[in-house]
Structure 1
Amino acid sequence: MSESRMPLTSEEQITLKKAAYGAVTLVSLAYPGAWSSTKENVVGAKVLTGATGAVGRILSGKDKFRLDGKNTADIADEVLPALTATVAALQIKSPAETEEFRRAVTTAVRQAAASTKGGASPAQTDMIAKITAALAI
């Protein structure tokens, strides 16, 4: 497991990573097109790997995660609760890192959506609102 200097368990660290990268995936899936999805994922991933502190170390680590959903709804059912669970764990175990996690995810999904031709689509805007709500506990 990554050297996080944070009292999150290995499972919680994987959930953090799945939540963050999964949020970017949800935004990319909300705008159809293979080229667009790839570009959005790259833009979002760059933001996430630029996060600082323990959250940044976890997001930049080599730990693997997997999204099991077969479609956008299934992935949302997996990622949105993971976002909420990560915020809850951070608030209890490392309150100082909570805002860094929220900032990294919010910035990543907004920049990913903005990278699409013509800017964020209505579906992406709706997905970002769901992501933001999941982070707001």
Structure 2
Amino acid sequence: MALHEYRKLFLESIYSIENISTYLQPRIPLLSELQLTIRQESIMLLYIRHEDMNLSGMAEKLGISKSAVSQAMRNLEKEDLLHRSINENNRREITLSLGENGKILKQQFEDFEDEILEKYISNLDLDEMKQVRNILLKLEEMIRNDEERDHK
């Protein structure tokens, strides 16, 4: 298969994922009401999925500076989504926790995932879903290995 055919398939896949996100995002009411920046939204959704993650981990995962995460955190704290506090066991470390609106958002996100699973995902063929997952994992591994080689 020619490179341009791979490009076409890759871009169609990316556009499809973006469209799915655009269609479904309004189903998380609090997320729509808050009018967060893309960065703030990314931080929130990352934290909801990885509640043990700290500021440094978020910065690394999002490919931004710790300072950029801290700046975004100001509004998240103001909106009572996330809170920063000093880790009593290691005073140099900042821990994060969900605020009241953060807990509501997390519940809405979990309800949203359940709805998507029931309404759409469960109607797909399980073997095809496994195949898609395996392809994405293989692509991720190829890219990670390539990046690790480049950074040695």
TM range (shorter): 0.3 to 0.5
Higher strand share: 2
TM-score scaled by length of structure 2: 0.32
Q: Which has the higher contact order (CA 8 A, sep 6+)?
A: 1
